[in-house]
Amino acid sequence: MTSVPTKPLVLSDHRVRMVQRRTLTVLSSAQIVGGVGVAVGLALSSVVVDELSGSTVISGFAGTAIVMGAALLALPTAKASGRGGRRAGLALAYAAALLGCALSVAAISIHNWPLLLAGLVLVGGGSAGNLAARYSATDLSPRGHAARHLSLVVWAATIGSVAGPNLAKPADQIGMDAGLVEKAGPFAFAALAFALALLVILAGLRPDPLKLARRIDGAPPATAAGSRTTRRAWETLRTTPMARKALVMIAVSHTAMVSVMSMTPVKLHHDGSNLDVIGLVISLHIAGMYVMSPVVGWLADKAGRVPVLLLGMALLLAAATLAGTAGHRVWQVTTGLVLLGLGWSCGLVAGSALVSESVPVGGRPAVQGLSDLLMNVCGATGTVFAGAIVDRLSYGTLGLVVGVMVAAAGLWLAVTRRSGSPGDRDHLASA
């Protein structure tokens, strides 16, 4: 049975602004605590897998597992959002991450790296939830403010994400004092963080922003089967040039960031750096990802999405060059990782805003979920190749490969920026 549009719900601008303000507060709160869980997993997963497996190649699969988990949970999160609202989708993602952390603690306790990789796949649900939260911030955004509102939720992850890696060592000590084996404590701590994020979403995200946006727009509830929803997303992308370009830029940005970042702890570990140094480098990298996101969002709304995407490609190229030629200079690796985070921020914020504004509200969850699926599949593939490249060649070679990739993507976007209808400038002006 085909759904038909319903009569639009009429709400005053003041009422919508109040709901949006509450939505941003709840989403930001969940991002803070959820960011702790994600950051702890990213900071230590490759090192723990490296120690348990004794293989640099296998250690690269730690980052792959988390990213692949985010990819695998992207569509279920989107489908749950489409059927039950943003609250249902985000709750699913954070619950999966909570389960993954518990499984990781068990795996480390019995020194089983395959089981740890399985747990890390579910931990990827935290990344899926944090990524989906940024789209949730755009459902009730006023015209021309999508990037800024999206960037505020991205920025909120700064607190938890920067603190997370530096909490790994004390969490490890507390865990050992409580009877856990070494390096299991941080994952137990991450489990608590995801449990709190889940509670914040379930209790606070009311009214649901997507459900309310659909009622205001007069769109029918999404009740189609999952396969039909996915097919509709592909059809939308095929007929929307700007959404396709945005998706490619998001995927390239994420692939570049995850590939370099996932192998940096292993490089520093092999160079003799301790957990404190590794944690500091990753914290500064994550700060680069999030701290400037409100500025990136403001710039994307004012200067345009495509110019900010091009800026992101330039920053990623500089990052790959610096990190890849650093040798044993920790300060140069750190500088490269900060620029890597800034480039990712440009790609994610500007690209996500462009994806959201290119499709109608009724079809957004499916397209957004497909976007996150593809970006994480590309990111997971990148980490597989990154581990092999570092093991067989060098970390410097990885920087060269990533640099070539982002340079090619930036050149393609620059050449094709005027193609499609409407044009970039007109499209952005009407956003």
Domain layout of the chain by residue ranges: 13-204+229-429
Q: What is the pLDDT of residue 424?
A: 39
Q: What is the pLDDT of residue 228?
A: 60
Unique residue bearing structure tokens 């930001």: 28
- The pTM of the full predicted model, rounded to 2 decimals, is 0.78
Read off the pLDDT of residues 130-182 as tens digits, 9 standing for 90 and up: 888 888 988 888 877 888 898 888 888 777 766 777 788 888 888 898 888 98
**The domain 13-204+229-429: what is its CATH number?**
1.20.1250.20
Read off the pLDDT of residues 367-382 as tens digits, 9 standing for 90 and up: 888 888 888 888 878 8
Read off the pLDDT of residues 79-118 as tens digits, 9 standing for 90 and up: 898 888 899 999 999 999 999 999 999 999 999 999 999 9
Q: Using CA atoms, how far apart are residues 331 and 337, in angstroms rounded to an integer? A: 10
